Chains A and B, each alone.
Chain A
Amino acid sequence: MSKLSTPHLLGIKDITTSDIELIFKTADNFKDVINRPIKKVPSLRDITIANLFFESSTRTRISFELAEKRLSADVINFSSASSSVKKGETLIDTVNNILAMKVDMVVMRHPAPGAAHFLSKNVNAKIVNAGDGTHEHPTQALLDAYSIRQKFGKVKGKKVAIVGDILHSRVAISNIYCLKKLGAEVMVCGPTTLIPKYINALGVKVENNLRKALEWCDVANMLRIQLERQDIKYFPSLREYTMQFGLNRALLDSLKKEITIMHPGPINRGVEITSDVADSKQSIILEQVENGVAIRMAVLYLLAGRQEEN
């Protein structure tokens, strides 16, 4: 049985295509599990996992917690809206204090890019990055690609447009790495002020016109406008953003083909997409959420090294 090439999941950039495929294959099994009447396996019953959320999160935290519980791991949650550094304790101290209580794995969300890398070098535990600032959000990218694979049977050759605030989006960066590794074509679309100047270096196309992006793609991943990440104004108003980059039913119906709509959540209904798009049959937003649990189960299971025992 193969295993992951990495002891941690810090980002998609650092893992191989076969890692991704292994995670998907493992997730297939767990998807069966979570659709059974008894949704639980005993795989990680001897493992304790700490979920450290230094930034507010509802769905990612719940998804991880559910994945951990379905694997029978013991779970502790630590949430703090502001980072521990601002309270005077360093991140290393906070985490070492928690690890002193015999914790095996750490799932961490943190506002600073590279925080998961930093932690992996300084503490003795397996680290899963649940989002580090504007850097990566690897499990989101995995579940997004997994959802595309589920919809189309494969990711290779598919055209995916990522629309919205690319500049502040860890989802965009991780998605780009993941989709490229799996052989998809990727385009980013958004206001020029929110497209990084050097984004081409990641091998993506850039489009500033939403209609053109939608006409090109098979899948549109509509990112949430993250006003909390914007320290200054990048566009005059949400109203004007929606005028240019909001996806509504009329626009969707005017396309020559039926494209698939994704969204990492939470949705600002009426901003990046309207309700009738979010709730339409072209949307796979809720499948993404379901797949999120299976993907996170697979990641935790593989990082715990359980596949070797089978």
Chain B
Amino acid sequence: MQLIIKSAKVVDPSSPHNGKTVSIFIENGVIKQIASSKSQVPNNTKIIDIEGLHISPGFFDMQVNFRDPGHEYKEDLLSGCASASAGGFTGVAVMPGTHPPIHTKSEVEYVKRKTSGNIVDVFPVGAITHNTDGKELSEMYDMHSAGSIAFSDDKKPVSDAGLFLRALLYAKNFKGLLLAHCDEKTISLHGQMNEGKVSTSLGLKGIPALAEEVMVARNIFLCEYTSGKIHFQSISTAKSVELIRDAKKKGLKVTASVNAHHLALDDSSLKDFDTSCKVNPPLRTKQDIDALKKGLSDGTIDAITSDHSPEDEENKKVEFDYAAFGMIGLETCFALANTYSNLKLNDLVKKFVIRPREIFGLSVPKIKEKEKANLTLFLPNKEWKLEEKNIRSKSKNTPFIGKKLKGKIIGVVNNGKIELVSN
């Protein structure tokens, strides 16, 4: 593969070319030359020349659900990768909530084998407990050795504090990272949406912000006691941000991420019982959104994720109480963050490129000569409308169909391959 990307503005805080408009020549998957002026183009070279093009190292999503194995009709590993690349992601961490869950070496290897050679690098996250049922530790070391980059019980957080404490201690042996989705189920019990004015007016059972916050607080205590390492996923409330900010100040090894849709929508989106807005954690309030944005800008929140959660129509076009939680997000994640987070591009790249890989201990690609070409091409100011027919995920459960968004992905380059978004 020979490729030249002409007059693209570099967004990469770690690159000497950051902020400059350059032409990048790529050969055999490696950045061969970065030049400010238009150099000679060799024959048989694919040329990308789009006005206003920006280029950054490839995005990384720390939290996606690909439903494979088990529910491949919602999403399989390859359709998930197609959705990821369309969203500008060259790396994703897949959560273990499949059927069976990723809870032994076999599933870790299955995910890796099925996706090897893909333009998107897929990193499995193994379960903390067997079957993610919160009772016995899974063989974390074995999964770690097979390529599991972190551990999580996904949307079924370990409620047994003693067990979570032992998991934190045990993972230290091999520098394992635990991911925590915080939800105290005895408080959120059967809840359908954020507890607040809207849930009260709709008669829907509320999920208090408290359900998340007590578990964030508990985990911070456990983290401090064990000197372990926790990454908080899908942080959604103002107080969670505050708790994590304080923990970071204390020097604890905690990091955090937020889902892009939690920056874009509040719980008033549910006032018409719209099941496409039913997510876990639930959409919160305007005050929470403000706190999340502040957490992003002051560095309390390290990364932005999609929590891409494909669901078929049968699980969404039903009465609200019976609808599944979750929305797809890979293909709108960047646009939502770009539209709603108030972050400058350099900071967005930190949240989409650098911090996710640093947290997982992965090397961060750079826009530099002789580096592997792992790139995302995008137009940050382009407005576009999400159309159902263009969604590459097998599932279409998103409230953003027909909505105007700002920031368009043009394509990705990785593993010697190039993938452009055609629409």
Residues of A participating in the B interface, judged by any CB pair closer than 8 Å: 13, 83, 85, 90-92, 110-115, 117-118, 122, 132-136, 170, 173, 196-199, 201-202, 231-232
A173 touching B203 by the CB < 8 A rule?
A: yes
Binds A, one of B286-294, B315-323, B359-367, B377-385: B315-323
Task: Given A114-B202, A134-B203, verify A231-B189 contact (CB < 8 Å).
Answer: yes
Q: Is B345 an interface residue (CB 8 A)?
A: no
Q: CB-CB < 8 A to A197: which residues of B?
A: 195, 206, 208
Total interface residues on B, using CB and 8 Å?
24
Contacts A118-B320, A199-B200 aside, 19 further interface pairs with beta carbons under 8 A come to A90-B314, A90-B317, A114-B203, A114-B204, A114-B320, A118-B318, A132-B203, A135-B204, A136-B203, A173-B200, A196-B206, A197-B206, A198-B196, A198-B200, A201-B196, A201-B200, A201-B201, A202-B200, A202-B201
The residue on B at minimum CB distance from A119 is B319
The residue on B at minimum CB distance from A132 is B203
B199 touching A112 by the CB < 8 A rule?
A: no
A198 touching B197 by the CB < 8 A rule?
A: yes
B320 touching A113 by the CB < 8 A rule?
A: yes
Q: CB-CB < 8 A to A83: which residues of B?
A: 319, 322
A91 touching B318 by the CB < 8 A rule?
A: yes
The residue among B192, B206, B273 with the most chain A CB atoms within 10 A of its own CB is B273
The residue on B at minimum CB distance from A92 is B317
A38 to chain B, nearest CB (A): 40
Q: Complex: how many Å from CA A136 to CA B200? A: 11
Checking A13, A85, A136, A231 against B319 with a beta-carbon cut-off of 8 angstroms, the contacting residue is: A85
The residue on B at minimum CB distance from A91 is B319
Checking A92, A118, A122, A170 against B203 with a beta-carbon cut-off of 8 angstroms, the contacting residue is: A170
Q: CB-CB < 8 A to B319: which residues of A?
A: 83, 85, 91, 110, 112, 114-115, 118
Q: Complex: how many Å from CA A93 to CA B190? A: 26
Q: Complex: how many Å from CA A92 to CA B313? A: 13
Q: Complex: how many Å from CA A118 to CA B206? A: 19
Q: Which 5 A-B pairs have the closest CB atoms?
A: A135-B203, A114-B273, A201-B197, A112-B319, A134-B203
B200 touching A112 by the CB < 8 A rule?
A: no
Q: CB-CB < 8 A to B200: which residues of A?
A: 173, 196, 198-199, 201-202
The residue on A at minimum CB distance from B196 is A198
Q: Is B112 an interface residue (CB 8 A)?
A: no
Q: CB-CB < 8 A to B206: which residues of A?
A: 196-198
Checking B196, B204, B318 against A90 with a beta-carbon cut-off of 8 angstroms, the contacting residue is: B318
B197 touching A112 by the CB < 8 A rule?
A: no
Q: Please name 10 pairs of A and B residues whose Cβ atoms are closer than 8 Å in the assembled complex, sorted by A.
A: A83-B319, A112-B321, A114-B202, A118-B273, A118-B320, A134-B204, A135-B202, A135-B203, A199-B200, A202-B201
B318 touching A133 by the CB < 8 A rule?
A: no
Q: Is B272 an interface residue (CB 8 A)?
A: yes
Q: CB-CB < 8 A to A85: which residues of B?
A: 318-319, 322
Q: Is B17 an interface residue (CB 8 A)?
A: no
The residue among B199, B202, B204, B208 with the most chain A CB atoms within 10 A of its own CB is B202
A202 to chain B, nearest CB (A): 7
Q: Complex: how many Å from CA A113 to CA B208? A: 18
Q: CB-CB < 8 A to B314: which residues of A?
A: 90
The residue on B at minimum CB distance from A133 is B203
A173 touching B318 by the CB < 8 A rule?
A: no
The residue on B at minimum CB distance from A169 is B203
Q: Is B205 an interface residue (CB 8 A)?
A: yes
B238 to chain A, nearest CB (A): 16
The residue among A92, A122, A196, A201 with the most chain B CB atoms within 10 A of its own CB is A196
Q: CB-CB < 8 A to A232: which residues of B?
A: 189
Checking B195, B272, B322 against A112 with a beta-carbon cut-off of 8 angstroms, the contacting residue is: B322
Task: Given A91-B318, A232-B189, verify A113-B196 contact (CB < 8 Å).
Answer: no
B321 touching A117 by the CB < 8 A rule?
A: no
A72 to chain B, nearest CB (A): 32
Q: Complex: how many Å from CA A114 to CA B201? A: 11
Q: CB-CB < 8 A to B273: which residues of A?
A: 113-114, 117-118
Q: Complex: how many Å from CA A117 to CA B319? A: 9
Q: Complex: how many Å from CA A231 to CA B319? A: 19
Please encode chain B, from 189 to 232, with 1 for each CB lying within 8 Å of some chain A CB and 0 for all others: 11010011101111111101000000000000000000000000
Q: Complex: how many Å from CA A113 to CA B195? A: 15
Q: Complex: how many Å from CA A253 to CA B204? A: 38
Q: Complex: how many Å from CA A136 to CA B199? A: 13
Q: Complex: how many Å from CA A202 to CA B197? A: 8
The residue on B at minimum CB distance from A197 is B195
